[in-house]
Amino acid sequence: MPDKLGILAGGGPLPRQIVESCRRAGREVFVVAFDGQTDPATLDGDVEHVWTRLGAAGQALKALRKAGCQDLVMAGPVRRPSFGEIRPDFTAARFLGRLGTRALGDDGLLRAVMALLEHEGFRMVGLHEVLPDVLAGAGVLGRHTPDAAAFEDIRRGLAVARALGEQDVGQAVVVQQGLVLGVEAIEGTDRLLARCGGLRRPGPGGVLVKIKKPQQDARADLPTIGERTVEGAQAAGLSGIAISAGGALMVNPEGTIKAADAAHLFLYGVERAGTARNAPDSGAA
Amino acid sequence: MPDKLGILAGGGPLPRQIVESCRRAGREVFVVAFDGQTDPATLDGDVEHVWTRLGAAGQALKALRKAGCQDLVMAGPVRRPSFGEIRPDFTAARFLGRLGTRALGDDGLLRAVMALLEHEGFRMVGLHEVLPDVLAGAGVLGRHTPDAAAFEDIRRGLAVARALGEQDVGQAVVVQQGLVLGVEAIEGTDRLLARCGGLRRPGPGGVLVKIKKPQQDARADLPTIGERTVEGAQAAGLSGIAISAGGALMVNPEGTIKAADAAHLFLYGVERAGTARNAPDSGAA
């Protein structure tokens, strides 16, 4: 039996899924819940936990040590605050001081946090290590298959998403007939999809492309889709969703694929090596 | 006296400004107005013109020849239609056939259109050749000056805008305290600013960075700001606007600078070579 697992719980349902998966496996957990970020339902049924602020790094580390955790996992999106909002405690202030005033994207900040935690003696584990099956597979994942026009749009979306990812901005792009309808920054994929519905041109198609940033650590906040993403893509009139095979998470994979099937959307896992049948040109991936 | 000038009129006030500037200089003009794109006020006071569809290239070329135009200028944004909407006539169909199914961004399409027009014997002239003073200058353009934090945000915005521009997507980015709040795709700068107001973090600052794409032809649709941009930036709580010196247009420069001064926003012209005093690191520009 592995050690007690420390869960740094961002928003959404993923942290709760880890809690339940660990319970089924008989593994103990300790949740660090963040004010204004973690869904309180994560803690339902006497889950050992501490509530804290994002800036209270010292308190979080102390609680994790007291709980006897060595393995830590980060799960769920964290709405990134401004430096002004953080109100750092001593540990956080020292950490931020070391970072300096470099303008950091989400991923840069997460990597710095992980380095700090490893420096403090914890072991960061990937979400896929504690929640197998949550990483998206390759190729056609549901009942529907992208057509040639969709593959063109996927290719263009991959090129744009990759350029954005290299700048550590967003992970998602919506493309229709070669036109980039929208690009995600800090607003998140749900709001990106909501505005792209009104920007669509007459005619078929449109895809959401959501991929891992090139430099993104698999233990950091990976791109995630779920049933809500499928609903948003359907409402925007898109024909499907492409995600990184092995580099994106599906919250409730079975339910997500079922929802896509019912909505007549394709779900496609893009491989970097482009080895999937009908895969878009890997040069752009 | 130069030849009669053919004006391919997109939206907004720029085409009208050209008409008026030519009238003052005694130069004749002929306006090609596009359904659903050109502001009808462009044609006020008996301006020689033809109304046409974007897809009716043959009709537009014939009208320009009949009017005796050789010099052509493109001015004002064109809401790019889907291929389905274009309903190309014979000339446009042949042009689109030659383009093939390549997924083109705005700039790629404009460059192809310009190449077609030059191939047909017209001479494409830049907006700055017919509307001097409309290109933004370098450095601090109004009464307010960016502070150190604003220069940091400008630097980050330039890097992101440049990466996007290389993909032929959008021209504008909003950055606050190193966070990229929003990235422009097809929705345009006004809508980008409108959503970024709600995404701002507590605390000061935030800049709009709007620059020319690296490969953008100065005769194509250059990034443009005006009084409406200033209003949008003020409503979004930003501290200023940075644009490409010599590569961005100010609609009504005097009015735009006056509006920025009154709104307590800086207006800053970024030089590629970074030679302006206090200029952000040119490496990112």
For chain B, what percent of residues have pLDDT higher than 70? 84
Q: What part of B 120-179 touches A (C-beta under 8 Å)? A: 152-153, 155-156, 159-160, 163-164, 166-167, 169-170, 173-179
Average pLDDT, chain B: 85
Would A285 be classed as within a structural domain?
no
Regarding whether B145 and B118 lie in a shared domain, the answer is: no
CB contact under 8 A, A195 and B191: yes
Q: What is the ipTM of this complex?
A: 0.74
Final residue in a domain of this structure, among A100, A131, A162: A131
What is d(CA A276, CA B67) in angstroms, rounded to the nearest whole number? 56
Using the Cβ of A247 and the Cβ atoms of chain B, whether some distance falls under 8 Å is answered with no
Strands (E), B137-239: 139-140, 172-176, 179-183, 207-210, 224-225
Residue A196 lies in a domain: yes
The tokens of A48 are what? 């050992």
Same domain, A14 and A59: yes
The 10s digit of each residue's pLDDT in B37-60 is 899 999 999 999 999 887 777 888
Model confidence at B213: pLDDT above 80: yes
Alpha helices in B67-224 (DSSP H): 83-86, 90-99, 106-119, 127-130, 148-166, 189-197
Let me know if residue A235 belongs to a domain: yes
B139, B159 contact by CB (below 8 A): no
* Structure tokens that stand for A158 in this block: 């991959």
pTM for the model stands at: 0.77
| CATH classification of the domain holding B121 | 3.40.50.20
Report the b/e string of A243-261 with b at 16+ CB within 10 A.
Answer: bbbbbbbbbebeebbebbb
d(CA B136, CA A186): 29
Q: Do both B94 and B192 map to the same domain?
A: no
Q: Do A119 and A209 belong together in one domain?
A: no
pLDDT for residue B227 is more than 60:
yes
DSSP-assigned letter for residue B135: B
**DSSP letter string, B86-101:** H---HHHHHHHHHHTT
Range of the domain at A245: 135-270
Residue A185 lies in a domain: yes
Query: Would residue A141 count as lying in a domain?
Result: yes
Residue with more model confidence, A153 or B88 = A153
Domain boundary among A131, A159, A178: A131
pLDDT in the model for residue B104: 54
In a domain, B197, yes or no: yes
pLDDT at A284: 39
- Do B124 and B141 reside in the same domain of the chain? no
Q: How far is B172 from chain A (nearest CA, A)?
A: 11
Q: What is the pLDDT of residue A84?
A: 62
Q: Does B203 touch chain A (CB under 8 A)?
A: yes
In angstroms, what separates the C-alpha of B48 from chain A's closest C-alpha? Answer: 32
Q: pLDDT at position B277, please?
A: 43
As a whole number of angstroms, the distance between CA B280 and CA B285 comes to 8
Are A127 and A139 in a shared domain?
A: no
- Look at residue A76 and give its three-state secondary structure: coil
Please state, as a whole number, how many other Cβ atoms lie within 10 Å of the Cβ of residue A216. 21
pLDDT value of residue B281: 45
pLDDT along chain A (285 residues), means of 10: 86 90 92 91 94 82 92 83 67 68 57 79 87 86 95 95 89 93 93 93 89 76 89 97 90 92 97 50 40
Residue A214's pLDDT is what? 78
Domain boundary pick from A92, A108, A131: A131
- Based on the fold, state whether residues B192 and B235 are members of the same structural domain: yes
Higher pLDDT, B33 or A218: B33
pLDDT reported for residue B247 = 84
How close does chain A come to B200, measured CA to CA in Å? 9
The kind and range of the H/E element at A182 are strand A179-183
**Residue A140 shares a structural domain with residue A259:** yes
pLDDT band at B215 (very low <50, low <70, confident <90, very high): confident
Phi, psi torsion values for A28, nearest 5 degrees: -75, 150
Nearest to B170 by CA among B157, B155, B189, B156: B189
Q: Is residue A284 part of a domain?
A: no
CATH code of the domain containing A180: 3.40.140.80
Same domain? For B123 and B188 the reply is no
Same structural domain for residues A144 and A177? yes
**Interchain contact, A166 vs B163, CB within 8 Å:** yes
Residue A270: strand, helix, or coil: strand
Average pLDDT over residues B92-114: 64
Contacts of A202 in chain B (CB under 8 A): 82, 84-85
Backbone angle region of B227, left / alpha / beta, with phi > 0 → left and psi within -120 to 50 → alpha: alpha
One-letter identity of residue A250: M
Residue B122, φ and ψ in degrees, nearest 5: -85, 165
Could you tell me if residue A276 is inside a domain? no
Count the domains in chain B: 2
Output B231 or B169, whichever has higher pLDDT: B231
Tell if the CB–CB gap between B187 and A180 is shorter than 8 Å: no
Residues B143 and B264 in one domain: yes
Distance in angstroms (rounded) separating the CA atoms of residues A53 and A89: 10
What percentage of chain B has pLDDT greater than the value 90? 48
A143 and A191 assigned to the same domain = yes
Which among B79, B82, B176, B193 is the top mutation candidate for probing chain A, defined by the most A β-carbons within 10 Å of its own β-carbon?
B82
Residue (of A60, A84, A68) closest to A9 by Cα position? A60
